[in-house]
Structure 1
């Protein structure tokens, strides 16, 4: 009540007074945990952990270099230090990104060296002030588009240098999308809002290297098994991508998304689904002004007139900033080698290949996109499928 954190003894007494009927042994367990939970948790982690899946990271493209290095570099370094003290550890699986070396056109399943040693960067960012860091950031990231891709490459180098005698593997997924099969088709928990866009600067023939999230999970589990059981002599890198196995370009994907939104419209659609690919800056700026910002301003004016809070202009500006950061990735294609991924596939038994399926050659893009749109309606927007006829009428009015 006074804003302070009660000590362990007080927590124990509060729990005891509330739960008189709870078994005494359980209460003693709670008391022990409250006495020094951090130390005991750490001891349990160090003594009992068999495998680590390191998925934590910042994925913001516009993050500052200091924050991105702290989360994608320093935190990885500290976790590896903890892992080196785990006597029962069998494997350390690090999740990176297929775009960690996006400055290259062909990317092999190897760890590419950084121009500056990761330890020097991590140490220097501890004492440099923000102004200096902002000034040196473009020089450090070089021909990479943002701090995210740069620090994920940095994290891979940290893994290679700090691994000592551990069994380590690195997984590089591309653009992670809704589920393909599990727990059910089309499950999704986030969306950046492209349904509001009418035009985007993108190359229609560029490969949209989308990968379902359950595919990434299945590969991750399989890599964990192979690394722990077979103990490769060196750190293996696995590319989790779709473009080399089952390519689908942005133009085809955009057409399928629009066709599905016509077939299964959203209940509260702001505008009728439509999208156009532009290829130069002038056209992009013109379309952003006429097709995006102007309608948002008009809609907010209508909201003000009806006594509601304006929101569309702010949403549209945020969305356009996000899309501008994505332009680098929707205007290019990459080639990723997949020798290790294919090797792992061949190592699995037929039953494991079925249960832990990460073979995207079996993926039907049209079916996947339809399930993706349905997933947005059901799991993200919480819309009732029974409302589709009414949503179609709303679409006609738009």
Structure 2
């Protein structure tokens, strides 16, 4: 309901000119093909099942929490159960996870309740470190695709699930901010609702295989030094193109040996406890990443940015091209990853 509260606040502002809402391009779920910049209607679902009502969803979530508390569930048990319940509700209506489901409902609320408040909704794709401002490569925290780079660079991630020809829709954070500023300037006191998808899959696509090769190239030339002062030597990452092949590999290569190590460790009074614990953490890390990114691993959609292209031509004067840049076509992906993004996450994210 956060989006509604912000809208209510905006309506009470005497001199408000417009409301800018940042959503995500992945409110589309797991659709394929060209995904248009179109708003959601209240109650619209991705799989066509009728009956989506936001107040009902809030009521169901509250009832579920009360049920868990009545059973005296621990905080951890309650958190796990509520996450699973949210996933069930999202999947029931066609969304792959709670994040995209709640983002879509936020858009619905704003579109339905905005009245005469001018509204622009920004839908960024996968946001990466800054292209230029406030300085190249700046990023805060581990998010989205950076989790893969961090895991790989630290030697925790040697394999993953994906499609070599998959297009990764990436966009630097400062380009998203510039698009937001441009939308605010353009739509001040305009009566309509506008949707802008901010990404690169249509104008300047990069394949998963390219990202994989550049990661290997960078961390081979610039190995991470771990806490013991040792270089982490990376190998070419293995990319599995199906969930079945990935699961077989993990079972044979890691899970079965880990089970054997667990038995030996118990027999030898926890002599191998550090080895077991370290290996177990690495396996859980990989499996957690696969679970987290499963909706996007085989995503076949291309995000249309026709509205954004019109915005670029409207607000960007030749003299301002270097200031209000948000055209993904200017990005040289190899240069960006080798000289901006990977150095940036090593500097600001690696611990």
CA contact (8 A) 2:87 2:97 kept: no
**DSSP 3-state at the match of 1:238:** strand
1:18-33 → structure 2 map (5 Å cutoff): none
CA RMSD of aligned residues (A): 2.9
Equivalent of 1:138 in 76, 88, 106:
88
CA contact (8 A) 1:198 1:291 kept: no
1:44-55 → structure 2 map (5 Å cutoff): none
Q: Which residue pairs with 1:368 in the alignment?
A: 336
Q: Which residue pairs with 2:78 in the alignment?
A: none
Q: Which residue pairs with 2:174 in the alignment?
A: 214
Q: Which residue pairs with 2:216 in the alignment?
A: 258
CA contact (8 A) 2:161 2:246 kept: yes
Residue 350 of structure 1: CA displacement?
A: 1.9
Q: Which residue pairs with 2:121 in the alignment?
A: 170
CA deviation string 1:78-121 (max 9, x = no partner): 11111110011112100000000123223211112324454433
Matched residue count: 304
CA deviation string 1:32-90 (max 9, x = no partner): xxxxxxxxxxxxxxxxxxxxxxxxxxxxxxxxxxxxxxxxxx11111111111001111
Could you tell me how far apart the structure 2 residues matched to 1:366 and 1:379 are? 20
Q: Which residue pairs with 1:101 in the alignment?
A: 28
CA contact (8 A) 1:198 1:292 kept: no
Could you tell me how far apart the structure 1 residues matched to 2:193 and 2:132 are? 30
Say whether 1:335 aligns with 2:270: no
Residue 246 of structure 1: CA displacement?
A: 0.2
| Rg (Cα) greater in structure | 1
Say whether 1:194 aligns with 2:151: yes
Q: Which residue pairs with 2:245 in the alignment?
A: 283
Q: Which residue pairs with 1:68 in the alignment?
A: none
Say whether 1:239 aligns with 2:174: no
Unaligned runs of 5+ residues in structure 1 are 1-73, 383-398
Q: Which residue pairs with 1:80 in the alignment?
A: 7
Q: Which residue pairs with 1:30 in the alignment?
A: none
In terms of mean alpha carbon deviation, does 142-151 or 246-255 score higher?
142-151
CA contact (8 A) 1:170 1:236 kept: yes
In terms of mean alpha carbon deviation, does 333-342 or 277-286 score higher?
277-286
Could you tell me how far apart the structure 1 residues matched to 2:119 and 2:319 are? 25
Select the structure with the greater relative contact order (CA < 8 A; seq sep ≥ 6).
2
Equivalent of 1:154 in 92, 105, 109:
105
Return closer, same or farther for 1:314/1:353 CA change in 2, 3 Å cut-off: same
